[in-house]
Amino acid sequence: MYGQITSTVGGYLPKLVAALAILVVGWLVALVVSAVIRKILVRTTIDDRIAAWAGIGKDKTDFQIEQILSKGSFYLVMLFVFVAFFQALGLTIITQPLNNLLNKIFSFMPQILGASVLLAIAWLLATALKFIVSKALGATQLDDKLSSQAGLTEKEQVPLSETLANIVYWFVFLLFLPAILDALQMQGLLKPVQTMLDDLLGYLPNLLGAAIILVVGWFIARIIRQIITGLLVAAGADGLGRRVGIGTVVGGQKLSGIIGNVVYALVFIQVVIAALNALAIQAISGPATTMLTTLLNAIPSIFGAMIVLSATYFIGKLVAGLVTNLLTTIGFNQVLKLIGLGKEPEVGQRTPAEVVGYLVMVGLMLFATTEAANMLGFTILADLVKEFLNFAGQVILGVVIFGLGLYLANLARSVILNTAGSQAVFLSQVARLAIIVLTTAMALRRMGIADDIVNLAFGLLLGAIAIAVALAFGLGSRDIAAREVESLLTQFRGSTSDLTKK
């Protein structure tokens, strides 16, 4: 037995020593290869470039490509070492699956190399095109022009040249993606990517056409705006705007600039409609085109409503000034003094004539608002304004009736004080109070404010006065009333007997 064991171990010992030597040497070679690859990658800073390309950033220390590649090369070499180790030991049952794995890896290497070459070409081409686009757009100073047009500060600026360059960069990779997937023989992923790319390339002419229409239309709209603005400035439109006070209404803008912006908006709306139609996406262009077309069709009505309101505003100011001057001339400012509600207004205070002129202007503007709402199709707003005008007319008429009543009450009081005897003060106050109560009821009824309540209150007031007089005459002055009635009856009987004798 010892001899058999010695012969077996003695015959297997050289293989074991050779296998261990292969393992040790291979492990050392794997370490050397890993270290060399790591040093090369560290010197070329390729990890930072790949991290920046992938959008991870240089500050992300977790992503270190040199460590990943060096460890990968170490384990790949060790895989070969283990195959040689088990082959030296004669353990074919272990080496066979490892050899199959290596054969598959090396059989797939041409596809990986081809895909890598295509990826490198795509990267070189994308980088070159990105550099060209960025420099070309930067030389045109398009970023500064667009930022100044949009009113953006330097912090808020998003460089258009950089954005377009990035779009071109990734678009090149997208074009190379089907070729790379085909080189890797990933047919399951290649088909949907190819379909997506075909759809994108088929839609690209529509997108480019819409972009060209927008850019050209934008430039044309700007040119038309500058032409219109210049013509209006030369024609003296800004002076007219200052005379009529448009600058104060629209925040200091000139009339030429306002009209130029309006023309610019009208032209650009047409451009946007044309660009949406060029996209040929009914789900997007249909509703947007309908909305813009509706807005465009409503522009004549909007202009008509603006003209009506503007003309009424200026006419109202003129009419209000005429009414104020006319009422001031005829002495209307003393109306409060005449009706006993105050004195003549002091200097600097708003006079009754100015209040009436302001109300005239408000009334004209309300009528104009009704017409403008009808032109715009806002029937509900027009009906509300009509109802308000009707109510305001009733209120004004009620105020006139009440003021006339106050004037008549004061007039009656003055007449009674000048003509009556010892009871003049009492009778004048009674007459004044009665006229005020009557005109107040009439004014409230004209205003339409709680007609039933006014009628009931007025009836109860007269009834209360009648009952108070009856009670005062029947109970408080009963003896006097009896004597007066008896005197009247005596006189009546005496006159009757005289007629009988005759």
Contact 218, 145 (CB under 8 A): no
Tell me what pLDDT residue 307 has: 83
Residues 435 and 412 sit within 8 Å (Cβ to Cβ): yes
Say whether pLDDT at 247 is over 60: no
The pLDDT assigned to 53 comes to 56
Q: Residue 54: which H helix or E strand, with range?
A: none
Among positive and negative, which fits the CA dihedral 447, 448, 449, 450? positive
Count of CA atoms in the C-beta half-sphere (13 A) of 491 = 6
Provide the mean pLDDT of the chain. Answer: 75
Q: How high is the pLDDT of residue 272?
A: 81
Compute and round to an integer the Cα radius of gyration of the chain: 52
Over residues 323-329, the mean pLDDT reads 84
d(CA 271, CA 223): 14
Of all residues in the chain, the percent with pLDDT exceeding 70 is 71
The residue type at 6 = T
Residue 366 has pLDDT above 50, yes or no: yes
- Indicate whether 415 pLDDT > 60: yes
> How many Cβ atoms are within 10 Å of 436's Cβ, its own excluded?
16
Cα(103)–Cα(483) distance, rounded to whole angstroms?
A: 148
In which band, very low, low, confident or very high, does the pLDDT at 90 lie, cut at 50, 70 and 90? confident
Q: Which residue has the higher pLDDT, 291 or 274?
A: 274
Q: In which region does residue 351 sit, left (phi positive, over 0), alpha (psi from -120 to 50) or beta (all else)?
A: beta
Owner of token pair 């009506």: 308
User: Tokens representing 42?
Assistant: 């560290």
In this predicted model, what pLDDT tens digit does every residue of 193-226 receive, in sequence order? Answer: 788 777 777 777 888 888 888 888 888 888 888 8
Question: Concatenated DSSP letters for 53-84?
Answer: HTT--TT-TT--HHHHHHHHHHHHHHHHHHHH
pLDDT for the residue numbered 150: 47
pLDDT classification of 379: cutoffs 50, 70, 90: confident
Query: Which of 222, 209, 207, 212 has its CA nearest to residue 145?
Result: 222
Q: Identify whether the C-beta of residue 422 lies closer than 8 Å to the C-beta of residue 429.
A: no
Q: What's the CA gap between 99 and 91, in Å, rounded?
A: 12
Classify residue 341 by its DSSP letter.
S
53-89 residue pLDDT tens: 555 544 444 556 677 777 888 887 887 788 787 777 7
Instruction: Give CA–CA dist 476/483, Å, rounded.
Output: 14
**Closest among 174, 274, 168 to 216, alpha carbons compared:** 274
Residue 179 corresponds to which tokens in the numbers above? Answer: 């070729």
